[in-house]
Amino acid sequence: MDCLINGIGTIKTLVMKRYRTRLVIFLAFTIGTLIGVFKGEEAKQKWVFKIKSKYDTKRQVAERKMIARKGGVLLDEIEMASYHNN
């Protein structure tokens, strides 16, 4: 029974993360559009880029922590790029 509950909890967590990701992106573009209306297209692009960069950085840090907890080897960005290209 415990395994069943953990499985449901895991599925629920994955679904919530997916919706949270979509919500963050949706809000970034929506607020960016409002900024674009009032301050111009360049300000909109800067703001959306700043929010997406911040979100990507948090995601990368979380991935690295998860790898470290599992006992994996942490690779820098260059090593990751060369590893995934081969």
Q: For residue range 32-68, list pLDDT tens digits in order.
A: 888 889 898 898 888 888 888 888 888 888 888 887 7
CA angle 24, 28, 34 (to 5 degrees): 145
pLDDT tens digits, one per residue of 23-32: 888 888 888 8
Q: Residue 8 is part of which domain span? A: 2-85
Name the pTM for this structure: 0.53
Considering just the CA atoms, what is the radius of gyration of the chain in Å?
18
What is the separation, in whole angstroms, between the first and last Cα of the chain? 42
Domain count, the chain: 1
Q: Measured between alpha carbons, how far is 34 from 43 in angstroms, rounded to an integer?
A: 10
